[in-house]
């Protein structure tokens, strides 16, 4: 079955860095865009980045532009999010999700991983 499993979350100090990973299985990973979406504690969902199937097209939300970098390794069926210059407001559960952007469904995320918690605190 289609599955996404995130890892790499944890506690980091303000200004620090963290790299999240998302391992995909059960579908042809290289055929799909992928997105990262986050949810601060007790808050709503916020899309933060997507990457095209080949990695050639990338987009970021303004809130993370210049600090976060999305990437993928299709040979390893893996998606990554490098997070630098972390701030308290980046504290959230980070989800990876298969993105149907290429098929014209620009906000269709299905499925989602279970999420990984990133806590930015001194």
Partner 1 sequence: QSVVTQPPSASGTPGQRVTISCSGSSPNIGSNYVYWYQQVPGTAPKLLIYRSDQRPSGVPDRFSGSKSGTSASLAISGVRSEDEADYYCAVWDDSLSGPVFGGGTKLTVL
| Sites of contact with partner 1 (CB under 8 A) | 35, 44-47, 59, 61, 95, 100, 105-115
8 and 117 Cβ atoms separated by less than 8 Å: no
d(CA 76, CA 100): 20
Rounded to the nearest whole angstrom, what is the least distance from the CB of residue 106 to partner 1 in the complex?
4
Rounded to the nearest whole angstrom, what is the least distance from the CB of residue 29 to partner 1 in the complex?
18
Rounded to the nearest whole angstrom, what is the least distance from the CB of residue 32 to partner 1 in the complex?
14
Q: Tell me the chain's radius of gyration from C-alpha atoms.
A: 13
The answer to whether the peptide bond before residue 21 is cis (omega within 30 degrees of 0) is no
Of 33 and 80, the one with the shorter C-beta distance to partner 1 is 33
Can you say whether the dihedral through the CA atoms of 56, 62, 68, 70 is positive or negative? negative
Rounded to the nearest whole angstrom, what is the least distance from the CB of residue 27 to partner 1 in the complex?
15
Of 16 and 117, the one with the shorter C-beta distance to partner 1 is 117
Of 15 and 31, the one with the shorter C-beta distance to partner 1 is 31
121 and 99 Cβ atoms separated by less than 8 Å: no
Of 12 and 97, the one with the shorter C-beta distance to partner 1 is 97
Residue 4, token pair as written in the block: 């996404």
């Amino acid at each position: 079955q289609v599955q996404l499993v995130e890892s790499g979350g944890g506690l980091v100090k303000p200004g620090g860095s963290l790299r999240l990973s998302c391992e995909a299985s059960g579908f042809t990973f290289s055929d799909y865009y992928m997105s990262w979406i986050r949810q601060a504690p007790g808050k709503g969902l916020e899309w933060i980045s997507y990457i095209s199937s080949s990695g050639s097209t990338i987009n970021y939300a303004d809130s993370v532009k210049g600090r976060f970098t999305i990437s993928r390794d299709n040979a390893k069926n893996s998606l990554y999010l490098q997070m630098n210059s972390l701030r308290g407001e980046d504290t959230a559960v980070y989800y990876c999700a298969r993105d149907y952007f290429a098929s014209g469904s620009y906000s269709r995320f299905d499925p989602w991983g279970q999420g990984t918690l990133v806590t930015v605190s001194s």
